[in-house]
Structure 1
Amino acid sequence: MGVSDSYLSRTEVQLLLGINSFGLWRLVKKYDDFPQPTEPPHDLLAGFGDKKEPEEVRDGFQIYRWAAHTPEFAHRGAVLLRPLPQDLPPGRWAGYKDTVRGPALDWHTALGTIRVVRCDDRKVATDVATEVAGRSNPDGVAVVCALYGDMSFRGPALVAADTAHPGIEYEADWSDVAALAGQDLPWWPDLLRLPHLIRAWQPGAPAAVVEVPANNNEKILRRAAGNDAFDVTSQLAATDMANDIRNNRIDAALHDNEIFGKEGRGERRNPVVIAAVPDTGHHPLRSDGDRQVLEAGWLGLALSTQPDAVAAIEVAVGRQPDLLPFGALTEVPMRPGAVSERWARRLTMCDPTAAHVVLAQGKRAEAFLIDPLTDMPVLRTADREGQQVWRFYAPLTLPAGDAELASVVLHHTVWVTTSDGHLHPAPCTPSEHLWWGNGYGDRPSEAATVINLLLDDLGGTPNLREHWNAPKGLTALLNEDHKQGTELTRSSLLHARMTPPRTR
């Protein structure tokens, strides 16, 4: 979203202002505020083929704005930046028109027809103005406006492009357009900016009460919730997250209307009429249920072999990964004699589950496995260079029993050996990762926090929300550039935890 850049050559500046090369030279001498040449846009092909000096260019918007504010050239400047007529006759609504970028509403005004497109993507104003300029323009469109996606001083921000120069975009004032139209302009919140609503709008019509459409994530979760292959708990988990998405979308539409339809500064209100409001008849839907029930439901989906479960897990990974039964995604190269080789010996082959498919993220898996001690899914696959790697989710907790942490091994992640002879990838939350070494100012406090916890409670669940409060001595130890495969014993870790780091 936003105003697109445009650059004009000397010849294009002359054509825009209706002058010759001598006239341009005169303007530069006469007007101190005339825009100076600027750096041309970067040419990706520069350095290939013939090398030639870059052509002198000027910022198209600056030239167009300067002309609008300069009496001698105002008639050639940006239409909506020129001074408004003193006795401004009221405009009139002229219905809707379908354009290359969606339906638009037209107003016949003293400056010609203004066409407003309800879209805030980039180059919308230019695309529609170019479309109009390429035809006979029977509607007399002078300016095309599109949404900027933000709030201005007197209403929603607008991007404009004149049909005379569709390639030059500039910011326009909503209140100026409303003054030319002779009426408040309609506003639709982003999620209710639906073509059929825009086409049906008329001045004076009450705000339409509309159901907020479901997005793809909600549709995926509703489909999973209705799949009889899943147990009731999994259906409940999918429904809970779908309801949360719907509640958020309705709240977003309400907030949009509140922000863009609010009173303006001073005594004058913003010339905005709300054209649609979300249907809140059943809002809010029930969500944020019992956490243990939701976690059990997502575990069932993770273990499923249904495609609907894969799609639902992918939504959850991006939306609320802390409900899922696994931690951070981790990748470790396969190396003979490495600590990961010892861990891999206990992995067992299995059929792929939804968790395996989401873990793969489109990579081709050579084997699907599971860690029988932590139930974490594991893949044998290849990295971008074709090297064999283990790809897995870190566990959230470790099976402890009466064991304690015996040592930590640093091999592309943190590994934990236990006093009863087991080896595990260290537990980690879904949104963090464990590392060590010089972080160029960032210290490995996440790993220090996890190790600090496991030293006291091997079966503890890491909470990394305040990882920066990890013991400074442990963090300093892990901030050293240890070689891959370095083993830190329990005694060395306990000693580091008690030792304040040296000050420099």
Structure 2
Amino acid sequence: MGVSSSYLSRADVQQMLGINAFGLWRLERKYDDFPQPTVPHGSFRNTEEVWDGTEVYRWAADTPEFAHRGAVLLRPRPEHLDCGSWAGYTDTVRGPALDWHTVLGTVRIVYADDRKAATEVASAVAATGKPDQVVTVCALYGDIGFTGPALIASDTAHPAIEYEAEWGDVAALAGQALPWWPNLLRLPRLIRTWQPGTPAAIADVPPNDNEKILRQAAHNEVFDTVARAAVTDMANHIRNNRINRAEQENKVFGTRRFGAQPHPVVIAAKPDTAGHPLPCEGDRQALKAGWYELARSNHPDAVAALEVAVGHDPELLEFGAVTEVPVQPGTITEQWARRLAPCDPSAAHAVLAHGDPVNAFFTDPLTDMPALRTAGDGGSPVWRFYAPPALPASGAELATIVLEHTVWITTSDGQVHPAPCTPAEHLWWGDGRGDRPTEVATVIDTLLDDLGATVSLREHWKAPHGLTALFNEEHEHGTELTRSTLLVARMASPRTR
């Protein structure tokens, strides 16, 4: 989240500052620091001068002549403040908020950090026709500032204009430290029941959608115990991470300080850690076996669980990167496609389809990788498949590679394979706009020594310089590079290429 942009016309600026056109003309000449007209984001031309609303509003608060018309929380405050008081909670369009009576009027804090939260709540107050009841609304910025959690404020007099405010300033107005909830415990019931002086509530961190999906699969007796153990392990890992995150946020926001004094923050809720941490991080091979079973299931719960796993820990799935190439006769892709075996769709196929209409489903009988044929972005048919993490250990050698929309491997025993690749990477060649194709160089370097090796791209930047230089060149689709060419490139230094 950040401060939302707002723009003021010349008439808007005059209205805000309580001056006429001549007054604005004089003001622009009297104050060297008065904000200059700007161009709205996304605009190339603007027929009318506009000003950044936040800049003008902040400038006014910092200029004695116009301070009373500037941002409420940025105006100079009296040296001696009367102590404010808590005024209870109010339900708003962005959830329950806490109100504080202060010498400036009522300050409302809404515990939301999404875009325009402050503006929407302040606009709702202004729409009641009684904006004086609440002079400003603060929402969370999602970060930490010099005196506590960072805030974005929107005054009800000008709700479309947002500006950054200091937590410590609001606490000084309220006369006490302000409550704060970690993101996962900003639950309406907890905010509504909070009162000054109450100890931090101990609350369960609610499960997110991913955990719910995995728990549902874990309780489905259609799956065997190995598969259910695998999804339980991942669900436990997600829950542990969420509890740890809430604890860490409390530690950072509740104890961090930039000066001699601690931040005026009261931690309002702590996660329930009974039984924490849950057991997870089990044997990787056993977990992979469980996900293997789920990937080949056709149950909807398996599809949903697999979609979670793809984003959470794809290396458990034994599938490489999703790859898409056009269906074209006479290409090396066609040679590979001839051996694909038609099959009924599995959970892995369903995740691979990603909701697109599919003409047919297949499995590569040599690598066991799912594949399908669908329409591409332009409507032309494409093959979509998972790159294998490794090629069959047949005792053969890499014979050639063909660069045809992806990298293809031909072997000494006459087979054609998509080059292996890890789930989070992709294989490419040519101009990378500053990047270099070290991933494909690493894959080829590995396969030249052992065709059946499982590739690792964790340190792909260490690929042989000569191979990297070879793949940094702009090769046309269909280019074939022999084993000899690749071996010579691997031995070369950048200076000799």
* Alignment partners' CA distance in 1, 2:392 and 2:479: 23
- Residue equivalent to 1:31: 31
Contact persistence 1:413–1:434 (CA under 8 A): yes
Offset at residue 138 of structure 1 (A): 8.1
What SS is found at the alignment partner of 2:235?
helix
- Residue equivalent to 1:272: 265
What SS is found at the alignment partner of 1:292?
helix
Q: TM-score, length-normalised on structure 1?
A: 0.95
* Alignment partners' CA distance in 2, 1:40 and 1:431: 37
Offset at residue 200 of structure 1 (A): 0.6
Match for 1:380: what amino acid?
Answer: R
Offset at residue 263 of structure 1 (A): 4.5
Offset at residue 26 of structure 1 (A): 2.1
Contact persistence 2:324–2:385 (CA under 8 A): yes
* Alignment partners' CA distance in 2, 1:339 and 1:402: 22
**In the alignment, does 2:117 pair up with 1:124?**
yes
**In the alignment, does 2:212 pair up with 1:216?**
no
**In the alignment, does 2:168 pair up with 1:148?**
no
* Alignment partners' CA distance in 2, 1:201 and 1:76: 34
Per-residue CA distance 1:190-247 (angstroms, 9 max, x = gap): 0100111100100101000011010111111111111111111111110111111111
Distance 1:405 1:181, change over 3 A: same
- Residue equivalent to 2:20: 20
Aligned residue among 90, 93, 96 for 1:97? 90
Match for 2:270: what amino acid?
Answer: V
Offset at residue 459 of structure 1 (A): 0.8
Aligned residue among 130, 154, 158 for 2:151? 158
User: Which stretch shows the higher mean deviation, 225-234 or 447-456?
Assistant: 447-456
Contact persistence 1:328–1:430 (CA under 8 A): yes
**In the alignment, does 2:49 pair up with 1:56?**
yes
Distance 1:304 1:106, change over 3 A: same
Distance 1:494 1:250, change over 3 A: same
Offset at residue 70 of structure 1 (A): 2.0
* Alignment partners' CA distance in 2, 1:426 and 1:439: 19
Per-residue CA distance 1:20-40 (angstroms, 9 max, x = gap): 112212222222222222224
Distance 1:263 1:228, change over 3 A: same
**In the alignment, does 2:105 pair up with 1:112?**
yes
Percent identical across equivalent pairs?
A: 68
Contact persistence 2:125–2:131 (CA under 8 A): no
* Alignment partners' CA distance in 2, 1:445 and 1:136: 63
Q: TM-score, length-normalised on structure 2?
A: 0.97
Offset at residue 483 of structure 1 (A): 2.5
Match for 2:339: what amino acid?
Answer: R
Aligned residue among 335, 339, 346 for 1:342? 335
User: Which stretch shows the higher mean deviation, 382-391 or 431-440?
Assistant: 431-440
Per-residue CA distance 1:301-333 (angstroms, 9 max, x = gap): 100001111111111111111111210111111
User: Which stretch shows the higher mean deviation, 430-439 or 186-195?
Assistant: 430-439
> Which runs of no fewer than 5 residues in structure 2 stay unpaired?
none
Per-residue CA distance 1:128-173 (angstroms, 9 max, x = gap): 1111111143881111111111101011111111111111111111
What SS is found at the alignment partner of 1:311?
helix
> Which runs of no fewer than 5 residues in structure 1 stay unpaired?
47-52
Aligned residue among 236, 243, 254 for 2:236? 243
Distance 1:233 1:139, change over 3 A: farther
Aligned residue among 291, 299, 319 for 1:326? 319
Match for 1:264: what amino acid?
Answer: R
- Residue equivalent to 2:443: 450
Match for 2:416: what amino acid?
Answer: L
Match for 2:278: what amino acid?
Answer: L
Contact persistence 2:288–2:318 (CA under 8 A): yes
Distance 1:410 1:131, change over 3 A: same
Contact persistence 1:161–1:168 (CA under 8 A): yes
- Residue equivalent to 2:355: 362
* Alignment partners' CA distance in 1, 2:103 and 2:89: 19
* Alignment partners' CA distance in 2, 1:37 and 1:307: 57
